[in-house]
Amino acid sequence: MGRAVGIRDVAEAAQVSVGTVSNALNKPDRVSPTTLARVLAVIDELGFVRNDLARQLKMGAGTTLGMIVLNVANPFFADLAHASEAAAEEAGQTVVLGSSDQLEAREDRYLDLFEEQRVRGMLVAPLDGITQRMRRLRARGMPLILFDIHADRDFCSVTLDGRAGGELVARHLIESGRRHIAFLGGPLHQVEDRWLGAQRVCAEHQGVRLTHVDTDDQTIADGRAAGAVIEAMPAAERPDAVFAANDLLALGVLQALVMSDQLSVPRDIAVVGYDDIDYAESAIVPLSTVRQSTGLLAEHAIRLVLDEADDPDHSHEQLKLSPELIVRESSSPR
- Summarised one tens digit per residue, pLDDT across range 269-304 is 999 999 999 999 999 999 999 999 999 999 999 999
The answer on pLDDT for 2 being more than 80 is no
- Summarised one tens digit per residue, pLDDT across range 244-253 is 999 999 999 9
- Alpha helices per DSSP H over the chain: 7-14, 18-26, 33-46, 52-56, 75-90, 104-116, 132-139, 162-175, 188-203, 220-232, 247-258, 278-281, 294-310
Higher model confidence: residue 23 or residue 124? Answer: 124
pLDDT at 4: 65
Q: What would be the CATH architecture of the domain defined by 162-292+325-331?
A: 3-Layer(aba) Sandwich (3.40)
Residue extent(s) of CATH 1.10.260 domains in the chain: 7-48
Domain 61-160+294-321: state its class: alpha beta
Give CA separation, 117 vs 42, 61, 114, 127, 299, in Å: 19, 12, 5, 22, 24
The answer on pLDDT for 64 being more than 90 is yes
Give CA separation, 113 vs 50, 69, 118, 158, 306, in Å: 10, 15, 9, 23, 20
Higher model confidence: residue 152 or residue 271? Answer: 271
Tell me how many degrees the CA angle 27-29-31 measures, rounded to the nearest 5: 90
Give CA separation, 292 vs 82, 116, 312, in Å: 14, 32, 29
- Summarised one tens digit per residue, pLDDT across range 7-24 is 888 999 999 998 898 888
CB distance 36 to 65 below 8 Å: no
Residue extent(s) of CATH 3.40.50.2300 domains in the chain: 61-160+294-321, 162-292+325-331
pLDDT at 59: 43
Three-state DSSP at 13 gives helix
CB distance 124 to 112 below 8 Å: no
CA–CA separation, 77 and 326 (whole Å): 19
**What integer is the mean pLDDT of 137-149?**
90
CB distance 205 to 265 below 8 Å: no
Tell which residue, 206, 190, 179, has the closest CA to residue 149.
190
pLDDT at 151: 78
The answer on pLDDT for 62 being more than 60 is yes
Three-state DSSP at 169 gives helix
CA–CA separation, 35 and 21 (whole Å): 9
CB distance 124 to 285 below 8 Å: no
- Summarised one tens digit per residue, pLDDT across range 167-180 is 999 999 999 999 99
Backbone angles phi, psi at 96, to 5 degrees: -105, 125
pLDDT at 43: 87
pLDDT at 231: 94
Higher model confidence: residue 285 or residue 51? Answer: 285
Backbone angles phi, psi at 283, to 5 degrees: -65, 160
C-alpha atoms less than 13 angstroms from C-alpha of 12 in its C-beta half-sphere: 7
CB distance 151 to 158 below 8 Å: no
pLDDT at 1: 44
Three-state DSSP at 223 gives helix
Q: What is the DSSP string of 71-123?
A: -TTSHHHHHHHHHHHHHHHHTT-EEEEEE-TT-HHHHHHHHHHHHHTT-SEEE
Averaged confidence pLDDT in the chain? 91
Q: How confident is the model at residue 5 (pLDDT cuts 50, 70, 90)?
A: confident
Q: How confident is the model at residue 3 (pLDDT cuts 50, 70, 90)?
A: low
* The pairing of beta strand 324-326 with beta strand 289-291: antiparallel
Tell which residue, 61, 62, 90, 67, has the closest CA to residue 79.
67
Three-state DSSP at 126 gives coil
pLDDT at 154: 87
Give the CATH number of domain 7-48: 1.10.260
List the beta bridge partners of residue 271. 242
Q: How confident is the model at residue 204 (pLDDT cuts 50, 70, 90)?
A: very high
